[in-house]
Structure 1
Amino acid sequence: MHNDTMVTLVGLVATEPVYGGSAYGGAARFRLAVTPRRWDREKETWFDGHTSYYTVWAPKALGVNVAASVSVGEPVLVRGRLKVKEDNYDGRRGSSVEIDAVAVGHDLARGTSDFRRVTPGRPGAGESGAFGWPEGGGTPPEPGARAAVLPGPVPEPVPVPPF
């Protein structure tokens, strides 16, 4: 859409991603906590600003991969369409902010990640079918399930100064 407000947020995963299906297809949902950090020149120290929480919706294949790759407390970047909803809760008005994600990834400024490509099933594709599930259908990964770790040395994390 032409008038969508696209945003990029950097924060921490606040709730475990939950994947569910519907008549319109599946999606994963999780809460993202975004806390700005500011430098106080007078005190020469960092301080945290007010934390904002967003509900992130990741549709279809993105949602499957988010549910299999992201856990509570991990730093992530989310790119998507901003939606502000006005609601009525027991006669009280309120609003919520949601992001319809088009991309989600780990914040590599704050740690390392191990990417594994998922390829759609096709003749000769090997052991993986659609979305990396077993050939012949199979089932999607359990919410919060992690892919197997590949053998080999794990690189040392690079220390990063606070934001």
Structure 2
Amino acid sequence: MNDTYITVVGNVADDPRRKVTEKGAVTNFRMASTARRYDSGSGQYVDSGTFWIDVECWNGLSSNVAGSVSKGDPVIVQGTLTTHEWESDNGPRRKPQLRASAVGPNLTKGMAVFKRDRSGRAPDPAAGQELAAVPDARPGAEVTDPGWDYHGDGATLSPVDGPDLPQEPAHA
């Protein structure tokens, strides 16, 4: 098989839409990826063209994406590149489509809280207890909520921002 695997980094352009078909559950969303480059003449970063692609997520990934991703979210999507073809009043049409095998947040743009999908596993005593709020994510903050992997004083964590870290140019 000669599938074309790609990874696209960009932003979710519309709210994901989930539906159940005969083939299983599917969640679709449109994604925009705008390349940036440094222009040495102006000394600034400039946007290049924007690549638009429709993303489809099937079955288990479908429900996780529908419950986790919203319009505007920075994401990284990996999967196989296909071409969606259809017939319109103006003749045959085509556009690229990405059948996702993995979707995740782009952590260069912010922080995320991961909640493991425990479907198909033995019931967790804490299952069904939704966290009222995200625990304090600052280094050194104590995490006492059930389901969190790290419990400690934060001494082993590195600060997110520190005086010894170089400042990076802002990327919009």
Same fold (TM over 0.5): yes
Instruction: Measure how far apart 1:148 and its partner are.
Output: 4.8
Deviations 1:63-95 (A, max 9, x none): 101111111111000000001234332124432
- Matched ranges for 1:106-121 at <5 A: 106-121=105-120
Give the partner amino acid of 1:94.
R
Which of structures 1 and 2 has the larger relative contact order (alpha carbons within 8 angstroms, sep 6+)?
1
Residues 52 and 122 (structure 1 numbering): CA distance in 2 closer, same or farther, change over 3 Å?
closer
Aligned to 2:136: 153
Backbone CA RMSD of aligned residues? 2.4
Normalised to the residue count of structure 1, the TM-score between the two structures is 0.78
Structure 2 residues not aligned, in runs of 5+:
140-159, 162-166
- In structure 2, the partner of 1:140 is none
In structure 2, the residue matched to 1:14 is 13
- Out of 42-51 and 70-79, give the one that drifted further: 42-51
Task: Letter of the 1:106 partner, please give it.
Answer: P
SS in structure 1 at match of 2:64: helix
What one-letter code is carried by the residue in structure 2 that aligns with 1:48? D
Bigger-Rg structure (1/2): 2
Report the number of matched residues.
145
Give distance in 2, aligned partners of 1:104 and 1:162. Answer: 21
- Between 86-95 and 104-113, report the one with greater CA deviation: 86-95
Distance 1:148 1:70, change over 3 A: farther
Name the % identity: 31
| Equivalent position of 2:153 in the other structure | none
My pick for the range that moved more, 28-37 or 150-159, is: 150-159
After TM superposition, give the deviation of residue 150 of structure 1 in Å: 4.2
Deviations 1:4-44 (A, max 9, x none): 00000000000101111001110111000111111111111
Per the alignment, residue 40 of structure 1 pairs with 39
Query: Which residue identity does 1:29 align to in structure 2?
Result: N
Pick closer, same or farther for the CA change 1:38–1:121 going to 2, 3 Å.
same
Who is 1:138 aligned against? none
Q: Take 1:87 and 1:5, find their aligned partners in 2: how far apart are those partners?
A: 21
TM (normalized to structure 2)?
Answer: 0.74
User: What does 1:13-162 correspond to in 2, within 5 Å?
Assistant: 13-126=12-125, 128=127, 148=131, 150-155=133-138, 161-162=170-171
1:148 and 1:71, CA in 2 relative to 1: closer, same or farther beyond 3 A?
farther
CA distance in 1, matches of 2:86, 2:134: 49
